[in-house]
Amino acid sequence: MSRTIHVLNGPNLDRLGKREPEIYGRTTLAEIEALCRAEAGNDSIVFRQTNWEGQLIEWIHEAIDTDAAGLVINPAGLSFRSIPLVDALRMFPRPIVELHISNIHRRDALHQHSLVSTVATAVIAGLGARGYGVALRALRDMLDEAA
């Protein structure tokens, strides 16, 4: 059966490559998308980024309504303050991998307590851009196991 995995990216991640490279590295979002597609195997990937909270929430609704098999989400700064985002994710009935490029637990207090982690199946932080590949491999394994 063909599965679709949604990879959703939040605010400012369109600036990857030139944004604070000492924290986020030099890999661009386009390169991350290519990396995700290379890890997809037989699965389809919907890869998206937005700077708008409401758009991210609409895309989660779409993932629910179209029976997406799983979700990888880097909510970026919305991780730490968006109750509506948490509420939307709570409705998603399949595995959710929350991903942060940086290790948020080593960062300043503002970046340490992700609300999204309270509804995520798993959390990856601090692996840099390669975390996306790890997230997809783990998610695909989980889905295979549950099939």
**Residues carrying an active site annotation:** 24, 100
Give the whole-angstrom CA distance, residue 48 versus residue 50.
7
Tell me, letter by letter, the H, E, C secondary structure of 64-123.
HHCCCCEEEEECHHHHHCCHHHHHHHHCCCCCEEEEECCCHHHCCHHHCCCCHHHCCCEE
- Binding letters toward ligand DHK, positions 1-40, x by CB under 6 A: -----------x----------------------------
Closest approach, Cβ 111 to ligand DHK, in A, equals: 4
Residue among 129, 141, 96 nearest 114 (CA): 96
Task: Choose, by CB under 6 A, the member of 17, 25, 77, 84 that binds ligand DHK.
Answer: 77
- Residue 7 pairs with which residues in a beta bridge? 47, 72
- Residue 44 pairs with which residues in a beta bridge? 4
Q: Is 129 in the site for ligand DHK (CB under 6 A)?
A: no
Task: Kindly indicate which of the ranges 57-65, 86-94, 97-105, 116-124 contains the residues binding ligand DHK, using the contact rule CB under 6 A.
Answer: 97-105
Nearest CB to ligand DHK, comparing residues 17 and 77: 77
Interface residue list for ligand DHK (CB under 6 A): 12, 74, 76-77, 100-102, 104, 111
